[in-house]
């Protein structure tokens, strides 16, 4: 069983159209801002955003940390070069020292604590720069990662908009190819690069091809885990582990819970649309 | 009755809850259609308010009432069909269509089938129409019926309107993108709509005139693709996919005669309906 195919041309037109409308018309912003890591998601997002807004209305920030590899910085710069982002619209801001200062004040941090802190420092910088440019922060997360909660809450999750949020990683790869994202970026193993040697598939214990098919069958075809196991020929334990990741990270995908007191409260029966007049 | 006339498909997007802004767009399109000599100008479902209203559905009816008067006044010599939130009794709301002409509201038609699945939650907000609401309007150009979106996914409303004499059935819609998969790039929803509209036109030998919204409302995006389908299932006009558009298409009532002479449309076994009523 394969994921349903994607018409990259039409889907990219669709996302581009929505991005343009959201940033310029609805949000009344002057531009979009995003962090470019040298990975496939941020590269694909940057290509789409450049199509939607034009390179002059896109601000790209490379924010290398302690665990960022030199080749990723080069790839990020290549994306910026290919998109012809004007010099005034891109910047490399190393964050190792910033995170180091915080570590000095916070004492010894575990690997995950430092990783989350790093992601949140990036988020804070992106919002600061975006505010200065009257831009909104365009996130780069894809559907696979959002669904299993493979992101830092208020870190890379702290964005205004997620244009790839409806696309599995498998589909992002297809779209990246169509858009002309450099092959090297498409082929290299995805990583949040929050600590040395980290790769997404290594940390998750599953490759994206399998993960995407499990997620699609469970949540779009509504199959139960046993049926998914039968259809894909993967161990039941693997499917169960994915389901657990989805469930325990539900809080990351929703606004904070508010305890009900009044007649109408947030998250309960405060049901106004996002676009309110 | 004129045998041949034109219909303007005003495939617009709406700002959620902003009736004032949406009214401006309606007035522009009515004027444009009038100048082009169209007999009808048709807007999408809940065009005055936007579709994904959620609890704003409770708060826009008064503004709609005022806006209807403005559009009716602007509809000089042209029939306008639009979508709005109707409040027939205090605190009771309907997802409704209005037919306006020469300063008058000729009729209001509420929606029969309220979808309540996926992103839709219309039963939370609206009261559904019943058969007492079925109306065929006798206009200068044609006898017509009006349906709203989900109504067409069930055979009865169109069948009843056709049997009551409608030769043209308008379907105003807010159909969002869903399942944007597949090599040919059409969403699951679009493929289904094409089949359903063609079926309704052929089985009832009527013109089906479908006007969908185009644009974003919260996470949803309405895919446009408004169309006119002739009684033999041929697409005679088509608006853009995804974008707002304004398309004028021709309706030729002579075609009804030819098609009905080669159709079993006139046959009707009441026993089936008696059986369905019991099931």
Mean pLDDT of B126-144: 96
Report the run of H or E that residue B109 belongs to, with start and end. strand B104-110
Q: For residue B66, how many other CB atoms are within 10 A of its CB?
A: 11
**Do the beta carbons of residue A90 and residue A56 sit within 8 Å?**
no
Q: What is the DSSP letter of B150?
A: G
Mapped onto helix, strand or coil, the DSSP state of residue B144 is strand
- Say what the pLDDT of residue B189 is: 86
What are the structural domain ranges in chain A?
8-200
Mapped onto helix, strand or coil, the DSSP state of residue A175 is helix
- Say what the pLDDT of residue A277 is: 64
Residue A265 backbone phi and psi in degrees, to 5: -135, 160
The CATH code that applies to domain B4-278 is: 3.60.110.10
Chain A 17-76, residues with CB within 8 Å of chain B CB atoms = 17-18, 21-22, 26
Q: Which two tokens stand for residue A97?
A: 């020292």
Rounded Cα gap, residues B16 and A272, in angstroms = 10
- Say what the pLDDT of residue A199 is: 85
Rounded Cα gap, residues B202 and A144, in angstroms = 43
> Is B111 designated active site?
yes
Q: Tell me which of B64, B122, B143, B149 is the catalytic residue.
A: B149
| Long-range contacts of residues A229-233, Cβ cutoff 8 Å, at least 24 apart | A231/A1, A232/A1
Percent of chain B scoring above 90 in pLDDT: 90
User: Nearest by CB to A273, which of B56, B177, B179?
Assistant: B56
Asked if A7 reaches chain B (Cβ–Cβ under 8 Å), the answer is yes
Q: What is the pLDDT of residues B51-87, one digit of tens each?
A: 999 999 999 999 999 999 999 999 999 999 999 999 9
Q: Tell me which of B25, B64, B111, B171 is the catalytic residue.
A: B111
Q: What is the pLDDT of residues B191-249, one digit of tens each?
A: 899 999 999 999 999 999 999 999 999 999 999 999 999 999 999 999 999 999 999 99
Q: Distance of CA B125 to CAs A262, B68, B153, Å?
A: 21, 21, 20
Rounded Cα gap, residues A19 and A138, in angstroms = 9
**Do the beta carbons of residue B177 and residue B189 sit within 8 Å?**
yes
**Do the beta carbons of residue B214 and residue B242 sit within 8 Å?**
yes
With beta carbons under 8 A apart, name residues in chain B contacting A13: 242
Mapped onto helix, strand or coil, the DSSP state of residue B212 is strand
Rounded Cα gap, residues A175 and A11, in angstroms = 8
State the pairing for strand pair B92-101/B79-89. Answer: antiparallel
> Does pLDDT of B6 surpass 70?
yes
With beta carbons under 8 A apart, name residues in chain A contacting B181: 4-6
Mean pLDDT of chain B, nearest integer: 95
Rounded Cα gap, residues B13 and A269, in angstroms = 27
> Does pLDDT of B130 surpass 80?
yes
**Do the beta carbons of residue A68 and residue A119 sit within 8 Å?**
no
Rounded Cα gap, residues A48 and B55, in angstroms = 33
The CATH code that applies to domain A8-200 is: 3.40.50.620
Mean pLDDT of A265-275: 93
Closest CA to B212 of B175, B237, B186: B175
The set of residues, in sequence order, having a beta carbon less than 8 Å from that of A42 and lying 6+ positions away, is: A34, A35, A36, A76, A79, A140
Q: Best mutation site among A273, A274, A276 for testing chain B: the one with the most B CBs within 10 Å?
A: A273
> Is B219 designated active site?
no
The strand pairing partners of B209, in sequence order, are: B170, B228
CA distance, residue B21 to nearest chain A CA (Å): 9
Q: Which two tokens stand for residue B59?
A: 């708060």
Mean pLDDT of chain A, nearest integer: 96
> Is B76 designated active site?
no
What are the structural domain ranges in chain B?
4-278
Q: For residue A71, how many other CB atoms are within 10 A of its CB?
A: 11
Rounded Cα gap, residues A230 and B100, in angstroms = 58
* Per-residue burial over A43-67, b = 16 or more CB atoms within 10 Å of its CB, e = otherwise: bbbbbbbbbbbebebbbbbbbbbbb
- ipTM entry: 0.92
**Do the beta carbons of residue B103 and residue B76 sit within 8 Å?**
yes
Q: What is the pLDDT of residues B77-104, one digit of tens each?
A: 999 999 999 999 999 999 999 999 999 9
Are residues B56 and A22, on separate chains, in Cβ contact within 8 Å? no
């Amino acid at each position: 069983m394969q994921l349903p195919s994607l018409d990259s041309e039409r889907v990219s037109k669709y996302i581009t159209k929505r991005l343009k409308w959201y940033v310029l018309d609805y949000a009344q912003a002057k531009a979009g801002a995003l962090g470019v890591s040298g990975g496939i998601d941020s590269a694909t997002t940057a290509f789409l955003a450049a199509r939607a807004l034009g390179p002059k209305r896109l601000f790209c920030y490379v924010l290398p940390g302690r665990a960022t590899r030199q080749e990723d910085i080069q790839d990020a710069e290549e994306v910026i070069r290919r998109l012809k982002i004007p010099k005034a619209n891109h910047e490399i801001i190393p964050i190792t020292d910033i995170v180091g200062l915080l570590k000095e004040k916070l004492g010894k941090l575990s690997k995950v604590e430092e990783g989350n802190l790093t992601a949140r420092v990036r988020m804070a910088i992106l919002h600061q720069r975006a505010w200065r440019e009257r831009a909104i922060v365009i996130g780069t997360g894809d559907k696979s990662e959002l669904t299993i909660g493979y992101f830092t809450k208020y870190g890379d999750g702290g964005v205004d908009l997620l244009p790839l949020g409806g696309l599995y990683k498998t589909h992002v790869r297809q779209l990246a190819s169509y858009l002309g994202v450099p092959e090297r970026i498409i082929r290299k193993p995805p990583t949040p690069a929050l600590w040395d040697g980290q790769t997404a598939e290594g940390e998750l214990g599953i490759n994206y091809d399998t993960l995407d098919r499990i997620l699609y069958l469970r949540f779009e075809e509504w199959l139960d885990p046993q049926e998914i196991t039968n259809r894909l020929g993967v161990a039941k334990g693997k499917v169960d582990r994915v389901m657990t990741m989805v469930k325990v990270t539900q809080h990351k995908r929703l606004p904070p819970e508010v305890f009900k007191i009044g007649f109408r409260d947030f998250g309960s029966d405060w049901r106004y649309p996002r676009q309110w007049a | 009755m004129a045998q041949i006339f034109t219909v303007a498909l005003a495939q617009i997007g709406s700002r959620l809850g902003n009736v004032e802004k949406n009214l401006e767009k309606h007035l522009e399109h009515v004027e444009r259609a009038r100048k082009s000599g169209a007999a009808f100008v048709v807007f999408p479902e809940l065009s005055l308010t936007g579709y994904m209203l959620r609890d704003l559905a409770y708060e826009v009816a008064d503004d709609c009432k005022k806006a209807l008067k403005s559009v009716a006044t602007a509809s000089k010599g042209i029939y306008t069909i639009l979508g709005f939130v109707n409040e027939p009794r205090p605190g009771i709301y309907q997802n409704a269509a209005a037919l306006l002409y020469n300063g008058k509201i000729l009729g209001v038609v509420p929606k029969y089938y309220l979808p309540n699945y996926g992103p839709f939650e219309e039963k939370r907000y609206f009261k559904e129409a019943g058969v007492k609401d079925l109306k065929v309007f006798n206009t200068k150009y044609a006898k017509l019926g009006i349906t709203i979106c989900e109504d067409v996914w069930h055979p009865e409303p169109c069948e009843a309107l056709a049997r009551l004499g409608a030769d043209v059935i308008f379907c105003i819609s807010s159909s969002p993108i869903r399942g944007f998969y597949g090599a040919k790039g059409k969403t699951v929803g679009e493929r289904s709509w094409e089949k359903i509209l063609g079926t309704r036109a052929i089985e009832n030998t009527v013109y089906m005139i479908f006007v969908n919204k185009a644009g974003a409302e919260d996470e949803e995006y309405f895919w446009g693709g408004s169309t006119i389908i002739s009684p033999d299932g041929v697409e005679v006009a088509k608006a853009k996919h995804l974008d707002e558009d304004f398309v004028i298409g021709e309706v030729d009532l002579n075609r009804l005669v030819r098609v009905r002479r080669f159709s079993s449309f006139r046959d009707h076994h009441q026993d089936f309906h008696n059986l369905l009523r019991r099931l």
